[in-house]
Amino acid sequence: MTAISVRHLSKTFGRFQALKGVNLEIRQGEMVALIGASGSGKSTLIRHLAGLERADSGQSVVEIFGERMQASGRLAPGARRMRREIGVVFQQFNLVSRLPVLTNVLLGVLGRIPSWRGTLGLFNPEEKALARSALARVGIPNVVWQRASTLSGGQQQRAAIARTLVQQARILLADEPIASLDPASARRVMDVLSDINAKEGITAVVSLHQVEYARAYCPRTIAMRAGQVVYDGPSTALTDDFLKDLYGLEAEDLTLPGGDEAAEVAIARPIPSSKPQAGLTPVAAV
């Protein structure tokens, strides 16, 4: 089943075109990396997938599980309901810092309970148990009563992922979730994302700055440059040479300093040796 379908997606801010006719299909249960240099349009694309941004009027279409979320720059009447299927994790500012972690995670149920209950913070024991088990699921069962502001960056990201579990999202969009983290924390966050993708079958789209993480965790990568998809295929095919073909000098910004050896130490997973597969061509060159 197709989880996300995007056709002719274009977005213009003022006179600047941030997305230029993006087309992509993501099947249910896939884990897909979105890579690209700064300004290539990754966040803008993710915001459209999340129903947080409207595309240019024209042919742009975004569908979630076969249902239209927006078309021609208009959100569909069901867009709000569809957003509940989609959990979003950002690089920063994911949590309400003054609230306990448990309350932050419980915010994931807001879409499913009467608004008066949410406003008063009246969560029932089952919901609280769900939030606790989500925190255990992401490996931080002991921070339940801590204020969110006291968590490390990696713990905050994992709590944000726990909130999407409580939300019972079927799609998880993570916009540079590891960009501000040290390698060990980044690895733990990617491990959690990979694990819930594998075990819960949650479709995951993760924007990343370094291709090594894409190769280690995501079978498929969509690479963007200047608002366009320039490659969509197996992550293992994204060798350093292929990246140079796609990005020229910008390719240096998309790899960890120190090459594959340093990446293996940082990621602590063997980076698949990545000979380009026959017939793989950048999308733009097709």
Binding region for ligand ATP (CB under 6 A): 13, 16, 18, 36, 38-44
Could you give phi then psi for residue 31, rounded to 5 degrees?
A: -120, 115
DSSP reduced 3-state for 263: helix
Closest separation in Å from C-beta 47 to ligand ATP: 8
- In the bound state with ligand ATP, the residue whose beta carbon lies nearer, of 38 and 273, is 38
- In the bound state with ligand ATP, the residue whose beta carbon lies nearer, of 190 and 208, is 208
Closest separation in Å from C-beta 91 to ligand ATP: 8
Q: What does R_g of the chain's alpha carbons equal in angstroms?
A: 19
DSSP reduced 3-state for 213: helix
Cβ atoms within 10 A of the Cβ of 277, count? 10
DSSP reduced 3-state for 208: strand
Closest separation in Å from C-beta 42 to ligand ATP: 4
DSSP reduced 3-state for 175: strand
Closest separation in Å from C-beta 130 to ligand ATP: 32
- In the bound state with ligand ATP, the residue whose beta carbon lies nearer, of 12 and 168, is 12
| DSSP, res 281 | -
Best CA proximity match to 49, nearest among 76, 83, 72, 73 = 83
Closest separation in Å from C-beta 67 to ligand ATP: 25
| Amino acid letter for position 220 | R
Q: 157, exposed or middle or buried, with CB in 10 Å at 0-12, 13-18, 19+? A: buried
Cα 117 to Cα 109, 122, 159, 214, distances in angstroms? 10, 5, 22, 40
How do beta strands 220-225 and 31-35 pair? Answer: parallel
Closest separation in Å from C-beta 222 to ligand ATP: 12
